Amino acid sequence: MSGINYSEKIPNNVNLSGDRALQRALEHWQPNYLQWWQDMGPDGSHNFDVYLRTAVSVEPDGWAHFGHVKMPDYRWGIFLAPQDGQRKIHFGENMGREVWQDVPGEHRANLRRIIVTQGDTEPASIEQQRHLGLTAPSQYDLRNLFQINVEEGRHLWAMVYLLHRYFGRDGREEADALLERRSGDTDNPRILGAFNERTPDWLAFYMFTYFTDRDGKFQLCALAESGFDPLARTTKFMLTEEAHHMFVGESGVSRVIQRTCEVMNQLKTDDPATIRAAGVIDLPTIQRYLNFHYSVTIDLFGADQSSNAAIFYGAGLKGRFEEGKRTDDHQLKNDTYRVLQVQDAKLVEVEVPMLNALNEVLRDDFIRDSVAGVGRWNKVIEKAGIPVRLTVPHKAFNRQIGTLAGVRVSPQGEVLGDAQWKANVDRWLPTPEDRAFVASLMGRVAEPGKFANWIAPPVMGINRNPVQFEYVRFN
């Protein structure tokens, strides 16, 4: 494609203009990507001018350039965190060796699989969220949705760059397939289950960005430790953007809760029906959404015992969260970890070799991180003087992956029979009626500074602009 001025059109720090092979691969892929964006990107938004943040370099002053941009013209860059020439592999059997700048043959298949699985989640979430723009509660929220979408698009580019640059022909084929799968498609679905679920409403979107993007954070953190240096550097820079996605989730749920608490105090009631009649989402419904998104997301970490996880770690391909800050031997051959199993209708902890339990280790790190944010939501309720607290459900609740798949466990961790589960599940997980009610509140608010009734305005605007700033120009 002769029309690309590489440094202008695709800001990058990978010497794209000097790499002919990479240019040829991207010339083939980029038009398909733009076509995919037209087909599967945010619905009906292509002509909007959106106040977006664009990264133009990896320096602190270079990766937050703000301005109104049409999303198809967004400059999807390719950025790796700066190279540290001293880096050594710091865990697993190759510990102490130089990090790899090229793919070692014996790890090629596993690395490709890791990169494709990560890459597949990026366009999947855009597809899941493509209709949300039609029901945005404000311009501020619409802009945040679009910012997340273009950044997930950039994360897809980041993974495709690795596939094109390091995996030759099969890398190019995998990159093409990333644009062919579709979220929720029966014939050609996305790779991971959670990414084939619909994100039907904005409460689901906030929960998704709080919990599921946080899974992304933990997977990226584990990959940022990788002995394959280009993957480590790519994921490290992606993490800076991932932070914004989690902010949208955390502050979104927080604002929903704040508005609900205001109405509860105005009406002096905690009756869900009365609260719903006032056009806001009652706290029990928020708790059920939380239970659903939390349990679906912790499944993403994979089986609690996994030989793949042990292989990835031993080879130095994927570390633990904050591997560099841990003070053990980084080999883990003699370490054990406790995982849950069901024995005699009770949940018990059993010790298993830690290397096989690394998915569980990462899941537990994720849980600790998630709980902290839920604590901050509770502070909003506490400040409003309401004696309710949100909680995360038990780790064994509503699991579909690993040893606990299909086991009936209450949010408090009691093992149940089928009858007990059926009798109570509507108290614990969102019902079709809950979803229908939340959907009924979703009306589009497009005027600058105005917000839907069910959500409080944010404390501050984007980039020190006022909340009533025109974040999206609809043209």
Contact characters 435-464, other proteins, x per CB under 8 A? ------------------------xxxx-x
Alpha helices, DSSP H, located in 135-271? 139-166, 168-178, 202-207, 213-223, 229-267
Beta strands (DSSP E) in 324-382 are 336-343, 346-353
CB of 465 vs other proteins, minimal distance in Å: 5
Q: Which is nearer to other proteins, 135 or 258 (CB)?
A: 258
The answer to whether residue 61 forms part of the interface with other proteins (CB under 8 A) is yes
Name which of 32 and 240 has its Cβ closer to other proteins: 240
Nearer to other proteins, 373 or 411 (CB): 373
Among the residue ranges 8-16, 61-69, 256-264, 403-411, the one whose residues contact other proteins (CB under 8 A): 61-69
From 60, 96, 105, 432, residue interacting with other proteins (rule: CB under 8 A): 60
Shortest Cβ 177–other proteins spacing (Å): 31
Q: Minimum distance between the CB of residue 434 and other proteins, rounded to whole angstroms? A: 27
Give the pair of three-digit tokens for residue 431.
Answer: 């019902």
Cα separation, 126 vs 132, in Å, equals 10
Min. distance of Cβ 4 from other proteins in angstroms?
27
Residue that is written with structure tokens 């770690």 in the block: 313
Collapsing DSSP to helix, strand or coil, 379 comes out as helix
Provide, rounded to whole angstroms, the least separation between the CB of residue 49 and other proteins.
15
H and E: helices and strands count for the chain: 14, 5
CB of residue 115 vs other proteins: minimum separation in angstroms? 23
Residue 426 CA: distances (Å) to CA of 200, 203, 285, 398:
19, 18, 10, 12
Give CA separation, 373 vs 139, 178, 203, 253, in Å.
25, 32, 16, 10
Span 249-268, contacts to other proteins by CB under 8 A: 250-251
By rule CB under 8 A, what count of residues binds other proteins?
28
Considering the complex, state which of residue 129 and residue 305 has its C-beta at the smaller distance from other proteins: 129
Tell which one of 2, 20, 186, 372 touches other proteins (CB under 8 A).
372
Binding-site member from 31, 82, 413, 417 for other proteins (CB under 8 A): 82
- Applying the rule CB under 8 A, the residues between 200 and 259 that interact with other proteins are 239-240, 243-244, 246-247, 250-251
Which one of the spans 134-142, 156-164, 373-381, 389-397 is the region binding other proteins (CB under 8 A)?
A: 373-381
d(CA 387, CA 371): 19
Which residue has 């800050």 as its token pair? 325
Q: What count of other Cβ atoms lies within 10 Å of the Cβ of residue 346?
A: 9
Q: What is the 3-state secondary structure (H, E, C) of 101-130?
A: CCCCHHHHHHHHHHHHHHHHHHHHHHHHCC
Q: By rule CB under 8 A, what string of x and - marks binding of each residue 333-352 to other proteins?
A: --------------------
Residue 95 exposed, middle or buried by CB count within 10 Å (0-12, 13-18, 19+): middle
Interface residues with other proteins (CB under 8 A) are 59-61, 63-65, 82, 84, 239-240, 243-244, 246-247, 250-251, 372-373, 376, 379, 459-462, 464-466, 469
